[in-house]
Amino acid sequence: MAFLADSLGWNDQQTVFLGKTSFYFKLASIFRKLSSRLIACLFIGNKNSWVHEAFYLGLDSGQVVFVDDGLATVKYYHAIHDETFHSRVSSGKRRILAAMGIQLNRARDTSAIAFFTCFPLSDSERISVEVHDFPLFRRTFRTQMQRSGNRPVVAFLGQPFGGMERLEQLKMQMQLVVQRHKDARILYFLHRKEVPEELEKVLGGFPVEIRQAGRPIEVEVALSGESYLGFYSFASTALFTIKKIFPEMQVFQIDDKILASRLPYYDEIVEMLHQIGVKTTGLHSFAVPE
């Protein structure tokens, strides 16, 4: 966060961290300060978080804007239309918040909800949608493909999705990448929810370097100076963002039928990837892409 604030010139903006220590007292203090103010627009970044939900149900704002929360954005978009957007705030947490003077509305009028997204979602009677292509990122960071004299790199984008079968399927996906790019250096970028030790056991037999980027993968690619041949994953959000930001980059979505059966709106997600130039490859398509 500090890196982005410095890069974007936001150092004069107030930042409040809700750490575990005295969490509820800090939350109550923020609500006391904001409840007396007119909030024109409230931006929410994680619609699956009860804390974020408490903000948009507990504060009076002219409009609530949902910014992207990965591919979960597609799920939330449909949930609002299907009226299956269930509250994440439990009755117990509601009682705690009420005891601190924080009263939550039972529901939010969706006419005051907007999506600010990179995904090609459509306006509707329930939601207004503004689709962007990362203009600020393009102005801030270098988005042209790099050609260095170093060994070319192929990146695999990790994700925690898949349940009990995830790791076994990951072996097959990695075998595909290794077979296709025998002369390349292969990097596996961990998702923040993945456990390095777990991945090391699964991928130990492959010539793969497991890496924790420490910053958004899009920023990592822009600043690394590496010569990337391509990116692979099953359904990581970064497949979409990297292709949008770096349109000349080769990006591949691995069509894993087992994992696909578990992912809601899989066909719609794949179609959106195809619209921006991401290619789909089967698990056993070992031919080197052009």
Q: Residue 109: what pLDDT?
A: 62
- The per-residue pLDDT for 111 is 65
> What type of residue is 87?
S
Q: What is the pLDDT of residue 110?
A: 64
pLDDT value at position 4? Answer: 65
| pLDDT at residue number 164 | 80
* Stated pTM of the model: 0.85
Mean pLDDT, each 10-residue run in order, the chain (290 residues): 67 78 88 89 86 89 88 87 81 91 74 86 89 88 69 92 86 94 94 90 93 88 88 94 93 95 92 95 71
pLDDT at 84: 74
Q: How far apart are CA 197 and CA 84, in angstroms?
A: 37
- Which of the four CATH numbers 3.40.50.2000, 1.10.10.10, 3.90.180.10, 3.40.640.10 does domain 142-282 have? 3.40.50.2000
Q: Where are the domains of the chain?
A: 2-132, 142-282
Tokens of residue 136, six digits: 């600020």
Query: Could you give the CA distance from residue 129 to residue 7 in angstroms, rounded to a whole number?
Result: 27
Q: Which amino acid appears at position 17 of this protein?
A: F
In angstroms, rounded to a whole number, what is the distance separating the alpha carbons of residues 263 and 159?
13
Which pLDDT value is given to residue 88?
A: 85
Q: Note the pLDDT of residue 289.
A: 59
Residue 104's pLDDT is 87
Nearest of 278, 283, 277, 259 to residue 180 by alpha carbon: 283
Residue 194, token pair as written in the block? 């993945």
| Total length of the chain | 290
User: Dihedral of CA 14/114/266/145: which sign?
Assistant: negative
